[in-house]
Amino acid sequence: MTTHAPAVAHDAGHPAHSEPTGFLKYCWSTDHKVIAMQYMFTGMLMAMVAGFMAYVFRMQIAYPGMNVPLFGHVSPDTYNALITQHGSIMVFWVAMPVLLAGFGNFLIPLMCGCDDMVFPRINRLSYQLFLLSALVLIASWFVPGGGFGGAWTAYPPLSAVGKYNLTPMGSTMWVIAVALEFVAFLLGGINFIVTSMNARAPGMKAFDVPLAVWMIVVASLLFMASVGPLIAGAVMLLFDQNLGTAFYNPTRGGDPVLWQHLFWFFGHPEVYVVLLPAMGIVAEIITVFARKKMFAYKTVIYTVVATGVLSFFVWAHHQFVAGIDPRMANVFTVTTVIISIPIAEMCFLYIATLYGGSIRFSTPMLWALAFMSEFLIGGVTGIYLGASGADIFFHDTYFVVAHFHYTFYPIAIIGTLAGITFWFPKMFGRMMNETLGKIHFWGTIIPFNFIFIPMFFLGLSGEHRRIYDYTNFPDLATPSMQALRITSTVALVVMLLFQFVFLFNFIMSMIRGKRAEKNPWKSNTLEWTADSPPPHGNWAEMPTVYRGPYEYAVPGRERDYWPQDERA
């Protein structure tokens, strides 16, 4: 393992790094890049499952009672299970593995200039536990009673009492799966933080570290500091379900609202846990494709830290009308609205980075710019929900659904696609097809807006969440509202179909794409000085760092980029 030692040739015979071959490679590899790919592919498979679920329940909403093609009839309990699992998967088994674990594993050693994670075997264990958690979740759909259907927030008493949720086994397995997933990410987080702090290339000072690494590290810190209470809460829920304890049972001295506090104390920082890696990816891409130094790099880091700290003091905005003391809402509306300041500042700095640039609209850049534009919609609509007085009406309506999809979709889907299209040459040594990439981009972004903009209007008309058939409610069953629901569903189907373009492009480019050179985008950061794809150990000769990551268009130099490892 490389620490502060001077750059030396990588010792291929290091015992901790003897690499299994063939199929075993994928079971026992400790190579951070293999583990990154494992996380990423598992996450993408889970995304397909969750996307299919979205298709099924959106069809049921648009055409209640129909036999959904490729699925069949959607009963109320199936509907509840589908929305619950869709939410759980997208947050815990897609956004986190792909953005935090996938990109974190791939980028941290490569961007910091070291040969692997500091604890490679802990890293491997992290993925194995993650895979186990995914298998437990999938198995939970096939046990008697079916999968858990009490929403991804799993509020007790519904989640705690079998006779209320009717899925005693499914809900227990859901809790176990989530808890295992947390353990996996705690192990991963240790690696991310220690590696980036202790194993950076010689010469790489804290403010020479690329923003993607900074943000993944801050995200890991947020995750590790917030998840403890929820793990305790999950164990209490497990005990309530199976051992007859009454932590959340009001008839025996418990309190159902306790779970909400534990859940959202984690749940809100979690938004930033997944947001920050995506913001980091976008920072790398806009600087490369605008050929610009990051505007006020240090201020960006300060806003990230400020956002992270503030995110621990906003959780109760999810509970304004949940029965908490109404005076609490006044405190949490202040903290919640105030968090707009560092986040807005961060967005302004990103936008300012474009000023004076020379912007090339390649596919990764299109995704990065789309992230900014779409995330802004998610950001401004959050103000409505943070304003306590307005949240009385908006809470648990489709306005909320639209709002958080305008944050989570840019994060989990747009951010991921930006990252994949950008680092694809480094990951697989080949270039992706640019034309197919652009077709996929427009085929995703346009329908995406048609899915979720109607939901803002449905929410404003009072439509509440998690309902399988709105014809049961006279005021919500109007033809104009149904037309909006159908619009949204049709747009979803179109968007999902366009993902086949991506899959085709991804697989074909991996097999027969144009061979990628070391640094196809003319970027500064260290990963582009390794071979494409980098071998186990990453570099034959470890790099030394002489400058920050964003020295583009430095006056007086002929080339408009200046790699971090190039001697002055």
Partner 1 sequence: MLLNLPRASTFAGDIDGLVVLVTWLVGAWFVATQLMFFWLMWRFRARDGVKSQYITGKEPHLKKWINIPHTLILLCDIVIIVAAVRVWVKVKQTLPPADDTIRVVGQQCTWAFQQSGTDGTLDTADDVWTSDTLHVAEGKTYHFLLESKDVLHSFFVPVFRLKQDAIPGRTITGWFKANRAGSYDILCAEICGIGHGIMGGRIVVDTPEQHAAWMQKHSVVADAGATTTDSTAATGAKN
Restricted to residues 132-191, the positions that interact with partner 1 (CB under 8 A) are 149-151, 155, 157-158, 161, 164-166
Structural element, H or E, at residue 67: strand 67-68
Tally of residues, the chain: 568
Site string for partner 1, 336-365 (x = CB under 8 A): -xx-xx--xx-xxx-xx-xxxxxxxx----
304, amino acid identity: V
**Which tokens is 387 given?**
């304003």
Q: How far is the CB of 55 from partner 1 (least distance, A)?
A: 19
Give the residue, chosen from 457, 490, 496, 522, that forms a contact with partner 1 under the rule CB under 8 A.
457
Residue 436 binds partner 1 (CB under 8 A): no
Give the residue, chosen from 15, 144, 244, 555, that forms a contact with partner 1 under the rule CB under 8 A.
555
Give the residue, chosen from 68, 305, 376, 494, that forms a contact with partner 1 under the rule CB under 8 A.
376
Q: How far is the CB of 459 from partner 1 (least distance, A)?
A: 9
Residue 211, exposed/middle/buried by CB under 10 A (0-12, 13-18, 19+)? buried
| CA-to-CA dists, residue 238 to 93, 198, 250, angstroms | 20, 38, 16
Sign of CA dihedral 368, 223, 319, 328: negative
The window from 32-40, 411-419, 526-534, 548-556 that contacts partner 1 (CB under 8 A) reads: 548-556
Residue 318 binds partner 1 (CB under 8 A): no
Residue 264 binds partner 1 (CB under 8 A): no
The window from 132-140, 186-194, 251-259, 523-531 that contacts partner 1 (CB under 8 A) reads: 251-259
CA distance 157 to 136: 23
Per-residue 3-state assignment (H helix, E strand, C coil) for 69-103: CCCEECCHHHHHHHHHHHHHHHHHHHHHHHHHHHH
Residue 251 binds partner 1 (CB under 8 A): yes
Residue 63 binds partner 1 (CB under 8 A): no
Residue 76 binds partner 1 (CB under 8 A): yes
**Which tokens is 502 given?**
């991506």
392: left (phi over 0), alpha (psi -120 to 50) or beta: alpha
Q: How far is the CB of 330 from partner 1 (least distance, A)?
A: 5
CA distance 94 to 86: 10
Structural element, H or E, at residue 551: none
Q: How far is the CB of 502 from partner 1 (least distance, A)?
A: 23
**Which tokens is 221 given?**
């810190």
Number of residues in contact with partner 1 under rule CB under 8 A: 98
**Which tokens is 230 given?**
């929820």
Q: How far is the CB of 257 from partner 1 (least distance, A)?
A: 7
CA torsion angle 230 233 235 241 (round to 10): -130
Residue 21 binds partner 1 (CB under 8 A): no
Give the residue, chosen from 297, 367, 448, 528, that forms a contact with partner 1 under the rule CB under 8 A.
297
Residue 384 binds partner 1 (CB under 8 A): yes
The window from 35-43, 208-216, 289-297, 426-434 that contacts partner 1 (CB under 8 A) reads: 289-297
Under 8 Å between Cβ of 239 and 245? yes
> Whose Cβ is closer to partner 1: residue 182's or residue 332's?
332
Residue 566 binds partner 1 (CB under 8 A): no
Q: How far is the CB of 349 from partner 1 (least distance, A)?
A: 6
Residue written as token pair 């009672």: 65
92, amino acid identity: F
Residue 504 binds partner 1 (CB under 8 A): no
Compute the half-sphere exposure of residue 204: CA atoms within 13 Å on the CB side of its CA.
35
The window from 184-192, 236-244, 328-336, 498-506 that contacts partner 1 (CB under 8 A) reads: 328-336
At 68 the three-state DSSP class reads strand
Residue 510 binds partner 1 (CB under 8 A): no
Residue 17 binds partner 1 (CB under 8 A): no
Q: Is the peptide bond before 447 cis (omega within 30 degrees of 0)?
A: no
Considering only CA atoms, which of 285, 277, 563 is closest in space to residue 421? 285
Give the residue, chosen from 128, 198, 242, 299, that forms a contact with partner 1 under the rule CB under 8 A.
299
Residue 258, exposed/middle/buried by CB under 10 A (0-12, 13-18, 19+)? middle
459-478 residues near partner 1, rule: CB under 8 A: 460-462, 464-469, 472-476, 478
Give the residue, chosen from 46, 201, 329, 432, that forms a contact with partner 1 under the rule CB under 8 A.
329
Q: How far is the CB of 436 from partner 1 (least distance, A)?
A: 22
Residue 246 binds partner 1 (CB under 8 A): no
Residue 446 binds partner 1 (CB under 8 A): no
Q: How far is the CB of 514 from partner 1 (least distance, A)?
A: 21
